[in-house]
Structure 1
Amino acid sequence: MRLKSFHAKTMAEAMRLVRKTLGDDAIIVATREEEGGGVRVTAAVEDDDLLVAQERLRQPAAAPADPEEPEIDVSEVVAEVLQRHGVPAALAEQLVDAAAGLDTDDPCLALGAALDQFYTFNPLPDGRGRVKPLVLVGPPGSGKTLIAAKLAARAVFKKRSVGVITTDTVRAGGVDQLAAFTRLMKLKLATVEDPDALAGAFEVNRGTDLVLVDTAGRNPFDREDMNDLKALLAAGEAEPVLVLPAGLDALEAADMAQSFRAIGVRRMLVTRLDMARRLGSLLATASRARLAFCDASVSSKVAEGLTPLNPLAFARMMMPPAEEKKAPKPAPKKLATKTKAVSSPSSRTIP
């Protein structure tokens, strides 16, 4: 047996020296306080144990193991995101169940897959080949005139022929605002006031790749307003597209959308995404009114154009990159949510 004394300022420091030099098997024989300050500890260790401790000291210290990252509970992350965006509880529960069925640890991909199951995404044409005229409809102030300018600019940039028509002759400055945009793009703007005039404008633009119609804002809860709009849409074979701003109350927006669906709207274009932080109302609206998402406007500048929407793009808007990899606090028990196999999102979900 070997004896060795250690001197240190504190007992804790002395004990650390004992363990470091003699190992964990050392036995404390005596301790005392020194007159000049500090403590002295005498420890003993068997010869074999001392050799083991000395060999351990000569070996390089092993690098500390990387801490294991907590496993991400995809269902919990998706549920938190939907709650933060104000998605109604019943709809959120359905989306969480769908996300849980996808065998992935990427919450954004799981949310995108859930959106792909519950919603239709059908972006608007850019003028590549002739399509039905697009009639932009919606409540006052939703941004229809700006969207008409953005759609026209996108088609012009792709060297497509564009015809622009406005029926917004009531709002002060409505025609002037769109005229300013069309002049910059060297496009002619046709102004019409009734269904017969609109039919004539459609005939004039019969050979045009893309025809856009900007309409006056309509109160979706006013029967006369909606009847006038319905008569306008009957002037020719055209597709009405609902332009709706983000950030509205979910139930209010859904009621508005249902009124416009009753007159033939099947696609919804979202505006003011740059001013909205909660997108739950859009999901509730598309679900209740059974509308497809098409494009989105994230800026009030015409030059910045529109963003075609797809499930994964929408999921990324709801779940910024900084939060995609954020793991929730570890739960005591892992939820058994992967009970069914679901195919990954289709190719159209990839931007």
Structure 2
Amino acid sequence: MTVITARGNDSSEAMDEVIRRLGVNAYILSTTVRNGMVEIKAASELEEPALAKTAPREAPIKIETRSGESMSERAQRFSDLLEARSDWAEPVVLRPVVPPRRTPWSQVSPMSRHAALVDRLEAELLAQDPLPIGQLLPRTILVGPPGGGKSLLAVRLAAAALLADRSIQPRLIAPRVANLLSDDRLRGWSRLLGLTPERPLVGDLLQADEGSAPELARPQIFDLSDVPQAAADLAAALIRTMQTEVVLALPVGLSPRRTLREVRRWAALSPRICLTFCDTSGPDRAQMNALVEAGVRLSRAAAGIGVIGSLSVPLRADLARWVQEEANEDDYERTETRP
């Protein structure tokens, strides 16, 4: 018969030592606490005489299970004791729970609210790879609602390209479906640059475009203002023959509903947005949120009344200025309406 004494910081640790040395069929002879340590005396087997001659032992620590039974009563064999350990109550550790401090949005300073809005607009609205002002792809197609400034934008793009590289000669192309009865704005503005716009019929344009090769020195700028009914089909046909950028001209102040409608109309062509008429103020938050919802990117902004130097690539500073302008207008309106 092998008798050992296992020690541990608690009963569980001492029992683990017993099972490691004697196995799960060991017999528990006594359980005591000495010098802050739990001691379990165990044997590999029991003899009848030994049971009769067992000397008085120290009073064991009574460990009760959830059912109220002592551990010595419930587990004479170590295998029973292991089964009883599953009923031991887990120690309860109380930790103070401090809820995170959250400041209501209404109590956040206006500067913090504006900065958070600008951060979101910068990440979701500004173009990741905008073309520099003055750089054009072989073909640029301008689309958008009537009165959105497409013709003036075409001339401004041509002017910026001429200033960036005097060796190129932009072509201003405005297709038509019938003879024009009067002179148009595009022709008047293009004279300032020494350019003459081309006005082909839609059928002749499509026939001539078949098999045409891009000319880097003569980038094409298409203004589809005079063919509103055929603009979508014509743009879809033109983008198939050469590298093309579709620019959707949207005026500042357009309602969010109309903004979403225009963007969705041209979504299949993956347009980039140019905000026009940014002369006095930029777009409001409602219009910018509509552009974010539509999933498009802002690549250009047009401001001023002239042709030269009127285009820019929007930056974070422009977004911050537009947000602050609207906040100032709101403050002014609240001040004026107070009794």
Cα deviation, 1:115-169, whole Å, max 9, x if unaligned, reads: 22222325444344x6341111111111101001111111112234132232343
1:253 aligned residue: 259
Distance in 2 separating the partners of 1:268 and 1:291: 7
C-alpha change, 1:217 and 1:182, in structure 2 (3 Å) is: closer
Given the alignment of the two structures, is residue 306 of structure 1 paired with residue 314 of structure 2, yes or no? no
Matches of residues 189-338 of structure 1 in structure 2 within 5 Å? 189-194=197-202, 197=205, 200=208, 203=212, 206-208=215-217, 210-216=219-225, 226-262=232-268, 264-274=269-279, 279-320=284-325
2:186 aligned residue: 178
C-alpha change, 1:150 and 1:266, in structure 2 (3 Å) is: same
Name the aligned partner's letter for residue 238 of structure 1.
T
1:169 aligned residue: 176
Q: What TM-score, normalized to structure 2?
A: 0.54
C-alpha change, 1:147 and 1:277, in structure 2 (3 Å) is: closer
C-alpha contact 1:240 1:265 (8 A) present in aligned 2: yes
Counterpart selection for 1:151 from 151, 157, 167: 157
Look at both structures and tell me which one has the larger radius of gyration over its CA atoms.
Answer: 2
C-alpha contact 2:175 2:205 (8 A) present in aligned 1: no
**Higher alpha-carbon deviation: 178-187 or 252-261:** 178-187
Cα deviation, 1:244-299, whole Å, max 9, x if unaligned, reads: 1111111121111111112x033100111225565234313322321110111122
Distance in 1 separating the partners of 2:147 and 2:231: 15
Distance in 2 separating the partners of 1:306 and 1:291: 19
Name the aligned partner's letter for residue 206 of structure 1.
E
C-alpha change, 1:239 and 1:184, in structure 2 (3 Å) is: same
Name the aligned partner's letter for residue 166 of structure 1.
I
C-alpha change, 1:184 and 1:319, in structure 2 (3 Å) is: same
Cα deviation, 1:162-204, whole Å, max 9, x if unaligned, reads: 3223234359678642223333212343222226625746947
Q: What TM-score, normalized to structure 1?
A: 0.53
C-alpha contact 1:198 1:235 (8 A) present in aligned 2: no
Query: Once the two structures are aligned, what percentage of the paired residues are identical?
Result: 23
Name the aligned partner's letter for residue 231 of structure 1.
A
- C-alpha RMSD of the superposition: 3.7
Matches of residues 59-138 of structure 1 in structure 2 within 5 Å? 75-77=108-110, 107=114, 110-121=116-127, 122-128=129-135, 131-138=137-144
Secondary structure at the aligned position of 1:184 is classed as helix
Name the aligned partner's letter for residue 193 of structure 1.
L
Secondary structure at the aligned position of 1:154 is classed as helix
Secondary structure at the aligned position of 1:291 is classed as coil
C-alpha change, 1:74 and 1:230, in structure 2 (3 Å) is: farther
C-alpha contact 1:127 1:210 (8 A) present in aligned 2: no
Distance in 2 separating the partners of 1:218 and 1:149: 18
Distance in 1 separating the partners of 2:207 and 2:193: 24
Q: Which runs of no fewer than 5 residues in structure 2 stay unpaired?
A: 1-105, 332-339
C-alpha change, 1:167 and 1:246, in structure 2 (3 Å) is: same
Higher relative contact order (CA 8 A, sep 6+): 1
Distance in 1 separating the partners of 2:207 and 2:133: 22
Distance in 2 separating the partners of 1:200 and 1:74: 63
C-alpha change, 1:189 and 1:198, in structure 2 (3 Å) is: farther
**Higher alpha-carbon deviation: 182-191 or 150-159:** 182-191
